[in-house]
Structure 1
Amino acid sequence: MSGIASEVAIILLLLVLNGVFAMSELAVMTARKIRLEQRAEAGDRGARAALELAHEPTQFLSTVQVGITLIGVLAGAFGGASIAEQLADGFRASATLAPYADALGLTIVVGAITYLSLIIGELVPKRVALTAPERIASVIARPMRMLSRVVSPLVKLLTGSTNLMLRLLGVRAHTDANVTEEEIRALVEQGAESGVLQREEHEVVERVFRLGDRQVSALMTPRPDVDWIDVGEGAAGLRAELALGRRSLLLVCREDVDHVVGFVRAEDLLARCVTGAALDSAALESLAQAPLFVPESMPAFRLLDALRRARQHAAVVLDEFGGVAGVVTLDDVLQDLIGDFPHEQEEEGGALIVRRDDGSWLIDGQTPIADVEGALDIALAEEERPGYQTVGGFVMARLGRLPRPAEQFEWDGHHFEVVAMDGRRVEAVRVARVRDGHPTTPPSTPLE
């Protein structure tokens, strides 16, 4: 009986050692480098050793594999033959089970060892490693590094064989571990969920990523909405425009918006009014700053760089044919980055997306697609560059023509209804979630 107890003890010890190797491998490979560096800077030698192992994963993984393979060989040698034989002897006492005694004994032993191997040698250690990878990696790194040095000749042989096989397969043995945007997003999300990042910080980081994917066409004020003054505008007309106080930066054109003269600051015009200086076309042209022209396909961050280098706060956006597509300002970029903030024209209009009492949304047709997607948790762009930037453009693209008030369609579990048109432009859209094939709220009465 003592022999069986010894055999059981040896098998359990081997399974525990297998679990240590499995836990070590997962802990070192999943530990966050930044946290290990912080522990190392605080004087944790184990964290420093873990960083060394993570820096040379081939040598470390080879050491782990040597240990696991050796344990497997030893487990095979102590495969429970004595235990199986003892069980078989017990089954032979039964006339019914006697013919199957050896098979039953072996099956029970193999099943028990397999079960314990999975639980003790794999699943539990790996779950433990995932709970605190940095702490566990710091604890086991130094013993693993010492073991790596002991078996280094065998590890070098395995490493050389691995690199040779990779070269034969055309795979680079050493590749740069570049961090992807998706990985950073995942870390930020985890930081927000764990409370490391505040909600506002999380939103700003997400907006930075979103801004990096946007083009000028998604930020600009489109041509039909551009406010401009004619260089030939008389003094009375200029004073009336200044009295409205809608813009701090005015676009000056000659006869139409395609003939841009430049931008003039409202404060410069006000200064001339105060001093009694002339407000004629010559004064406007002398005050106007030569405009910066940018293509509507320019990425948002390149726009910021262009505005900084040109020392300007606004730019004229051109379409692919050279015509004026709109105007983009530094405020447009900042609003997309940090969210809504008081506008120069805030008193003239309300929010672009309004949640109604019945649970539906009333959305301005000029609302950017990204804002609608964020508010409703819905995907409106069917492709990376869909050809439209606003919810009004999305409605036109879905219908394939100019919409009419009260026209409706469904998209991604939502019911869309055109509430109002402003000439050829979608002025307002109502959106409601669809449940059981029907919108959650009744249709609206079209606005005139």
Structure 2
Amino acid sequence: MSRYARTQVTARRSVPPGLRWALLAVLVMAATGAGAALAAAGPAGTTAEAGWTPLLVIEVVLTVLCMVGSTAFSYAEAGLVAMPKPLIRRLAEQGDDPRARAVEELIESGLDDAVALLAIMVTPLNLAVATFVGHLTVVLLGPAYYIHTAIGSLVVVLLLCEIVPKTYASHYPDRVALSTVRWVVPLVGSLPVRLVFSAVKAGSWPVRHILGFDDDLYRVRGFSEDELQSLLDIAEEHDVIDEAEAEMFDSIVSIGERTAREIMVPRVDIVIVDASVPVAEAAKIIAQSGKSRIAVHEGADDEIIGILYATDVLRCFHAGDTEKTVRDVAREPLLVPETKPVDDLFRELRQRRTHLALVIDEHGGVDGLVTMEDVLEEIVGDVRDEHDIDEHPDIRQLDDGAYLVSGTTPRHEIEELLNIDFGDDNGEFDTIAGLLFVRADGLPEAGYYVDHGPFRFQVVSMDGLRIVEVRIERLAPSPSGEESAH
């Protein structure tokens, strides 16, 4: 069953027995208190002291109305704050319930102001209840009963106007939001209420200014990154989400900390074709590489002028234009700086409706290439297609417990795998091969290793000057935790 379905099932459940008994107890307490007051007042027209006057009747009615109003506003406020917005939007799209559409319009037009208005209106109503009850007690029962009645009214107000409605609304926020929206919308949109809200904001401005609060005081604040991370940890501890879901959520939360340089395909690994090559020959290069998009250069290898799409090559074959050169069909590339955050990169790729961008370094040269697949892999992990099935994974654990990793494995993946920190290197390296190059006095060769903390990183194989594979093994405990290279 999907989460939406579970939420809808929850919304149809009956009121829990505990809430029923709590509400019944509050009603009994209120009725008992009213009966005691009337009994103390005596028959209509006579009381122990001042007499039962029409003014007192009006005061009792106003007390009850204030309690009802406070309960309703607390009920609606808690429901609107806790309501599941995705479910409301889904119900509105289905069009089966006009109330869902009304709630969605409230979300779009100003949910924060509506919640703030409801919260503000609860306070004066509770104060009015306390004032009326105190006055009625003195008039009907005498000053001697004031303390007892004040404590009793406080308990009733807390239960009836705060605890019970907010507890129910927190358990069934969708039901509460749908049931209250018809009177909440016209109420918060009425001129008198808006004037009161504006007056409260204006009156509180000096205090907010002195305390350093901004004008968004009445806005419902979102979660910070640290708060979201704490919520994810708690959810995982209580098995609300599994480990895979937790890792995905964690990747989404922290995706803005990564840069294009950290996830790009390095310049040396980019498949490149010369701009003067005929389309027919370029088709063979695409087929051999297994890539659907390759870079196009003219002159020096670093002068990349465009991107060749396999779909454009197919169109040329279909039209019989195989004699065209790659330059004729190449598309202009999207250029991004190497420091661009991954979340911004994702948005730009979507806005430009492209799946690939060239990463430019501080000197204006091409540092690498990044695709939409690289961005998505930061969230969901490795995405492998039919061309990846024969490739070795970047990280493999050997029988002896050591790891064999690709030289291009990102630094942050190694840090997470081994639970270590390579320290602040001012961006000297982004991959495990980069670590070995930075720590070496000269060019590393097969067999060269670096000891960092409790681990040894050793070059296993090379392709020319490139480090292809690195072995990582745990060292025996030693008194010195310093780094060494050999």
TM class by shorter-chain length? 0.5 to 0.7
Q: 1:354 to 1:220 in 2, by over 3 A?
A: same
SS at match of 1:389: coil
Say if 2:427 is the partner of 1:386: yes
- Note the C-alpha offset of 1:418: 1.8
Q: CA separation of 1:356/1:343 partners in 2, compared to 1, >3 Å: closer, same or farther?
A: same
Q: Calculate the aligned-residue CA RMSD, in Å.
A: 3.8
For residue 182 of structure 1, what is the aligned residue in structure 2? 226
Confirm whether residue 287 of structure 1 aligns to residue 334 of structure 2: no
Shift of 1:354: 0.4
Q: Which residue of 2 aligns with 1:209?
A: 253
Spell out the pairing of 1:95-106 with structure 2 (5 A cutoff).
Answer: none
> Partners in 2 of 1:419 and 1:221 — Cα distance?
21
Structure 1 Cα separation of the partners of residues 289 and 317 of structure 2: 14
Identity of aligned residues (%): 29
Q: Which residue of 1 aligns with 2:130?
A: none
User: Does 2:459 align with 1:415?
Assistant: no
Query: How much does 1:206 deviate?
Result: 1.0
Map 1:182-331; keep pairs closer than 5 Å: 182-235=226-279, 237-244=281-288, 246-281=290-325, 284-331=326-373
Q: Is the 8 A contact 2:286 2:294 kept in 1?
A: no
* Structure 2 match to 1:426: 467
Question: Cα deviations across residues 36-75 of structure 1 (Å, max 9, x unaligned)?
Answer: 9549xxxxxxxx9xx979x99xxxxxxxxxxxxxxxxxxx
- After TM superposition, give the deviation of residue 367 of structure 1 in Å: 0.5
2:438 matched residue in structure 1: 397
What displacement does 1:413 show?
1.9
Q: Is the 8 A contact 2:286 2:292 kept in 1?
A: no
Aligned 1:150-165 pairs, distance under 5 A: none
Number of residue pairs matched by the alignment: 293
Specify the SS of the correspondent of 1:258. coil
Q: Deviations over 1:394-422 (max 9, x none)?
A: 22223354322222232232122222222
Amino acid at match of 2:377: Q
Counterpart code for 1:369: R
The 2-side partners of 1:374 and 1:254 are apart by 40
The one-letter code sitting in structure 2 at the alignment partner of 1:226 is I
**1:347: how far off?**
4.3
Kindly tell me: are residues 353 and 35 of structure 1, through their superposed partners in 2, closer, same or farther at Cα, counting changes over 3 Å?
Answer: farther
- Cα deviation code 1:313-339 (max 9, x no counterpart): 111111111111111111111112210
Shift of 1:362: 0.5
SS at match of 1:285: helix
Q: Pick closer, same or farther for the CA change 1:218–1:138 going to 2, 3 Å.
A: same
Name the CA distance, whole Å, in 2 between partners of 1:364 and 1:321. Answer: 28
Matches within 5 A, 1:136-155: 138=163
Q: Normalising to structure 2: TM-score of the pair?
A: 0.53
Q: TM-score, normalised by structure 1?
A: 0.57
* Letter paired with 1:389: D
* SS in structure 2 at match of 1:301: helix
Cα distance in 1 between the residues matched to 2:78 and 2:374: 35
Q: Report the counterpart of residue 152 of structure 1 in structure 2.
A: none
Q: Could you tell me how far 1:381 is from its partner in structure 2?
A: 4.3
Conserved in 1, the CA contact under 8 Å of 2:280 and 2:322? no
Deviation for aligned residue 1:426: 1.9
In 2, Cα distance between equivalents of 1:138 and 1:389: 54
Return closer, same or farther for 1:411/1:342 CA change in 2, 3 Å cut-off: same
CA distance in 1, matches of 2:244, 2:334: 33
Q: What SS does structure 2 have at the residue aligned with 1:346?
A: coil
The answer on 1:357 being equivalent to 2:393 is: no
Query: Residues 258 and 324 of structure 1 are in contact (CA less than 8 Å); yes or no, is this contact kept in structure 2?
Result: yes
For the residue of structure 2 that corresponds to 1:186, the secondary structure is helix
Deviations 1:111-165 (A, max 9, x none): xxxxxxxxxxxxxxxxxxxxxxxxxx948x99xxxxxxxxxxxxxxxxxxxxxxx
1:341 maps to 383
Contact 1:415 1:431 in 2 (8 A): yes
Q: Cα 1:244–1:268, aligned 2, differ >3 Å: closer, same or farther?
A: same
Distance 1:225 1:186 in 2: 39
Closer, same or farther: CA 253–423 of 1 in aligned 2, 3 Å: same
Give the corresponding residue for 1:406. 447
Distance 2:472 2:275 in 1: 43
Deviation at 1:253, TM superposition (A): 1.7
Q: Name the stretch that deviates more: 371-380 or 307-316.
A: 371-380
Spell out, residue by residue over 1:200-234, the C-alpha distance to the aligned partner (whole angstroms, 9 max, x if none). Answer: 22111111133211111011111111101111113
The one-letter code matched in structure 1 to 2:293 is: L
Structure 2: gaps of 5 or more residues: 1-76, 84-114, 124-161, 168-206, 480-486
Specify every segment of 5 or more residues in structure 1 that has no aligned partner in the other structure, as ranges.
Answer: 1-32, 40-47, 57-136, 143-165, 439-448
Task: Report if aligned partners of 1:317, 1:327 keep a CA contact under 8 Å in 2.
Answer: yes
Report the 3-state secondary structure (helix = DSSP H, G, I; strand = E; otherwise coil) of the residue aligned with 1:437.
coil
